[in-house]
Amino acid sequence: MDTSIQTDLETFRTETRAWLEENCPASLRKPIKSAEDYFWGGRNPHYNSDDQKLWFERMRDRGWTAPTWPTQYGGGGLSTQENKVLLEEMAKLQCPTPLFSFGLSMLGPALLKFGNEEQKAQYLTEITQGKVWWCQGYSEPGAGSDLAGLQTRAEDQGDHFLVNGQKVWTSYADKSDMIFCLVRTNPDAKKHTGISFVLIDMKSEGVSTRPIKLISGKSVFCETFFDNVKVPKENLVGELNAGWSIAKYLLTHERSMIGGIGDVRNEKPLFQRAVEALGLENGKLSDPVLRTDIARWMIDQEGLMWTIERTTDESKAGQPIGAKSSFFKYYYTEQNKLKYELLMALEGVDALAWGEEYNDGKLARDFCRTKGNSIEGGTSEIQLNIISKRILGLPG
Amino acid sequence: MTLVINEEQQMLKTSAAEFLKEKAPVAALRKLRDENDPQGYDKNLWKEMAEMGWASLVVPEQYGGLDFGYVGFGQLLEEMGRTLTASPMVSTVLVSTHAILLAGSDAQKEALLPAIGSGDLVMTLALEEGKQHKPTKTALSAVKSGEGYTLNGKKVFVLDGQVADKFIVVARTSDSPGDENGLTMFLVDAKAEGISMSQTPMMDSRNAATITFENVQTTEILGVLDQAFPVLNKVLDIACIGLSAEMLGSIQEAFERTVNYLRERKQFEVPIGSFQGLQHRAALMYGEIEICKSIVIKSLQAIDRDRKDLSRIASMCKAKIGETIKLVTNEGVQMFGGIGMTDDEEIGFFLKRARVAQQTFGDYNYHLDRYSRILGF
């Protein structure tokens, strides 16, 4: 790499670390335990603490809720490398992400690529300022893995679309202000070509939500119903009937995000948790079978982290990532499920507690939740289909 | 440090691939096997490889080497794995050169390294004594007598032992089998009195030897008396990583051949690769291979950077690559179906090479255990 760029990056690192040290409140510098620990933004924002509010505002004012987005929309305008440095320094100091939102991770990238100038100016700015809580409306009861089979209709009524139908697995729909949605605008076209991408205000007349209770006992997902909902025409993103390409782009993005989530750098290594839970016998974990399983998991996990690193380097060197995001989505989620199987095994009967008096049964509930990892965002089987067709070039 | 190879490394990789495809394809190995070649590899070809600098790639310039680094060396090994090229690369360069570099005196380095580099000297490590790789269990005894030592015992699975000019013999000079302390490396001439040898052709069509030492005299110690273990450990770490790079080449080649077959072979009027039952298994292998590629290049870098946790990384590498080559060669034979069981089809050569490579310098179980021990659990 160019040495002057390298020097600039080191200067950026030093300055960033100093700024984070000074501006990130000490009370926030601890590992994030669950999604509720984040600040999610929205029209009626909820802060867990004054420090959380302060941290969000400071980062927002620096453009660092969306570090790589253009500054004109309230982003930080950082390069990929600078962003990597920022994330590394935040991880070292255990600074939490100041704003967690599907606007940042999913809608934003789609708008940056497919949105018109008015849409970008309005929605991207709202997202970086944490003003709107977005949710995603893709799946339907009859359209899961076969997403393009979706049936929610949007009829052209001249000055608006009239939307009717039902979405499912809309995360936090009951708390969201807006939803980005795939709808069918041409029922006569082939299924991939009659879909459009629209933005709908959740406060519109005719929108209702119902939480879904999961096997973990929690309800972060909802069903969302649209009953004669009027949606302004300007809320269409991209061309009419060309929503599938946006959906595919977004799914790829979502997969790479799911594939990269879970900052493991601050986490205690699995073998240490095992030693604490089960103890050593003659210097070896007292359960020899778990010892093998844990070593195997750790090797695969480090291999995965190195593959993310290698792919990032290859992408910088001009080699496209393409369908590789399907591999990351597959491998990461399968590893995460396996990790929870191992945690359940090494905590034994303690892991089975479900009630409030036992940390609200956190491990058991989290374990149940991981089973969804390989279903949401495209099942593991769909990822394997994509790998075999788009990477390996297998027919059919 | 970036995980993308640089232009020089890429050039070596490309030219090696072309050379090997032309001069040493799998068909060449088949020919050596069918002719019962006692050498086990093509001597002239090895000389040619040496002339291109392949036998001195990682040796410092002062000993006539190219100082090219391990990431670069790994590219060469990977290409040799693709063609299953039989040569003394592992025994002589990957292992012996490093033992000499890490433990040898200046005089030993000057005497041996240029001769290895020119392709004239073949050396090998005589280490294993039992069915499984357990370096500390070494029992072959070396007892002080006069100026030198007298060696008694037996070594098995000595790679290229039948053609080596010199052995690096790991012997016990004190303590007892199981102890790290008390091991010494000796340089022994292959023609020394008291050595008897039986050639043991292996399933991968390469050769190894069982060597018996009966009152063999030697005066030449490589390294420090009783303290060979730390050096041996590092030599084996490097050997595991280098061999893994070779295995990665075999893995990729076997996998690509299998995927091509899935595209071409028709049953029920369609390519069998259109069946999801096979597609998903192919996609799973693809993923494991991606992980292996990252582990191998990281491990090669770990040697170049002299990382403190090299042993942990080496065991991680050998374990993972060993498991993956097992998976890919098994699936390869299965997916080729009946034809995969025939000697005519080359996929079986990959299966048979895989099993030897898996066992060499410790198998999956050995390295998974070692990885855990190093971490303290």
Instruction: Dump pLDDT digits (tens) for A194-223.
Output: 999 999 999 999 999 999 999 998 888 999
Torsion over CA of B272, B277, B283 and B285, rounded to 10 degrees? -100
* Spatial separation of the C-alpha atoms in residues B187 and B168, rounded to whole Å: 5
Q: Report the SS3 class of residue A234.
A: helix
Contact call for residues A302 and A331 (beta carbons, < 8 A):
no
- Domain borders along chain A are 3-100, 134-242, 268-391
* Spatial separation of the C-alpha atoms in residues A376 and A393, rounded to whole Å: 25
Question: Which of the residues in chain B have pLDDT under 50?
Answer: none
| B295 vs A: CB within 8 A | yes
Q: Is the dihedral of CA A114, A117, A122, A128 positive or negative?
A: positive
State the pairing for strand pair B166-172/B183-189.
Answer: antiparallel
- Chain A's closest residue to B276, CA to CA, is A385
**Mean per-residue pLDDT, A252-277:** 72
Of A306, A313, A384, the CB nearest to B283: A384
Position A355 scores a pLDDT of 82
Domains, in order of start, for chain B? 7-121 (1.10.540.10), 124-226 (2.40.110.10), 229-375 (1.20.140.10)
Measured in angstroms, the CA of A370 and the nearest CA of chain B are apart by 20
Measured in angstroms, the CA of B9 and the nearest CA of chain A are apart by 15
**Mean per-residue pLDDT, A291-297:** 98
Q: Which two tokens stand for residue B147?
A: 């100026």
pLDDT tens, A27-63? 999 888 778 889 999 999 999 999 999 999 999 999 9
Q: Quickly tell me which residue has 């391990």 as its tokens.
A: B70
Domain A268-391 has CATH 1.20.140.10: yes
Q: Which two tokens stand for residue A216?
A: 């973990």
Measured in angstroms, the CA of B190 and the nearest CA of chain A are apart by 40
Residue B287 to residue A283, Cβ atoms within 8 A: no
Q: Which two tokens stand for residue A263?
A: 């900052």
Position A255 scores a pLDDT of 66
Tell me which amino acid residue B208 is. Answer: A
Position A257 scores a pLDDT of 58
Of A176-190, A238-252, B93-107, B279-293, which gets the smallest average pLDDT? Answer: A238-252
Kind plus residue range of the DSSP H or E element containing A167: strand A160-171
Architecture in CATH for domain A134-242: Beta Barrel (2.40)
Measured in angstroms, the CA of B99 and the nearest CA of chain A are apart by 28
| B312 vs A: CB within 8 A | no
Q: How confident is the model at residue A262 (pLDDT cuts 50, 70, 90)?
A: very low
Buried b / exposed e over B153-191, threshold 16 CB at 10 Å, is: bebbbbbbbbbbbbbbbbbbbeeeeeeeebbbbbbbebe
Position A292 scores a pLDDT of 98
Residue B297 to residue A310, Cβ atoms within 8 A: yes
* Spatial separation of the C-alpha atoms in residues A95 and A265, rounded to whole Å: 13
Centroid of chain to Cα A170: 13
Of A285, A295, A387, the CB nearest to B368: A295
Question: How would DSSP label each residue in B217-286?
Answer: EE--EES-TTBHHHHHHHHHHHHHHHHHHHHHHHHHHHHHHHHHHHHH-EETTEEGGG-HHHHHHHHHHH
What are the two backbone dihedrals, phi and then psi, of residue B167, each rounded to the nearest 5 degrees? -110, 145
* Spatial separation of the C-alpha atoms in residues A88 and B324, rounded to whole Å: 32
* Spatial separation of the C-alpha atoms in residues A225 and A219, rounded to whole Å: 17
Domain A3-100 has CATH 2.60.120: no
Residue A275 to residue B293, Cβ atoms within 8 A: no
Residue A303 to residue B294, Cβ atoms within 8 A: yes
**Mean per-residue pLDDT, A312-319:** 87
Tell me which amino acid residue A353 is. Answer: A
What are the two backbone dihedrals, phi and then psi, of residue B263, each rounded to the nearest 5 degrees? -75, -35
Q: Which residues are paired to A229 by β-bridges? A: A163
* Spatial separation of the C-alpha atoms in residues A97 and B184, rounded to whole Å: 56
* Spatial separation of the C-alpha atoms in residues B63 and B79, rounded to whole Å: 25
* Spatial separation of the C-alpha atoms in residues A68 and A80, rounded to whole Å: 7
| B274 vs A: CB within 8 A | yes
Contact call for residues B212 and B193 (beta carbons, < 8 A):
no
| Nearest to A241, CA basis, from A177, A179, A297, A194 | A194
C-alpha radius of gyration, chain B, whole number:
21
Torsion over CA of A233, A237, A238 and A239, rounded to 10 degrees? -30
Please check the confidence at residue A316 and state whether its pLDDT lies above 90.
no
Instruction: Please tell me if the domain spanning A3-100 has the same topology as the one spanning A134-242.
Output: no
Question: Please, what is the average pLDDT of chain A?
Answer: 92
Q: Which residues are paired to A242 by β-bridges? A: A195
Q: How confident is the model at residue A265 (pLDDT cuts 50, 70, 90)?
A: low
Q: Quickly tell me which residue has 């760029």 as its tokens.
A: A5
Position B313 scores a pLDDT of 98
pLDDT tens, A59-84? 999 999 999 999 999 999 999 889 98
Q: Which two tokens stand for residue A162?
A: 């009239």
Please check the confidence at residue A261 and state whether its pLDDT lies above 80.
no
- Chain B's closest residue to A312, CA to CA, is B3
Q: Report the SS3 class of residue B252.
A: helix
**A-B contacts (CB, under 8 Å):** 128
Of A2-6, A17-21, A382-386, which gets the smallest average pLDDT? Answer: A2-6
Centroid of chain to Cα B262: 30
* Spatial separation of the C-alpha atoms in residues B24 and B206, rounded to whole Å: 14
ipTM for the assembly: 0.96
Question: How would DSSP label each residue in B72-97?
Answer: HHHHHHHHHHHHT--STIIIIIIIII
Q: Report the SS3 class of residue B83.
A: helix
Please report, for residues A6, A8, A12, B37, B150, the alpha-carbon distance to residue A3 in angstroms, rounded to integers and kept in the order given.
5, 9, 14, 54, 58
Q: Report the SS3 class of residue B253.
A: helix
Q: Which two tokens stand for residue A327?
A: 């591999």
* Spatial separation of the C-alpha atoms in residues A189 and B91, rounded to whole Å: 65
pTM reported for the whole predicted model? 0.91
Of B270, B274, B284, the CB nearest to A384: B284
**Mean per-residue pLDDT, A1-16:** 82
Residue B287 to residue A396, Cβ atoms within 8 A: no
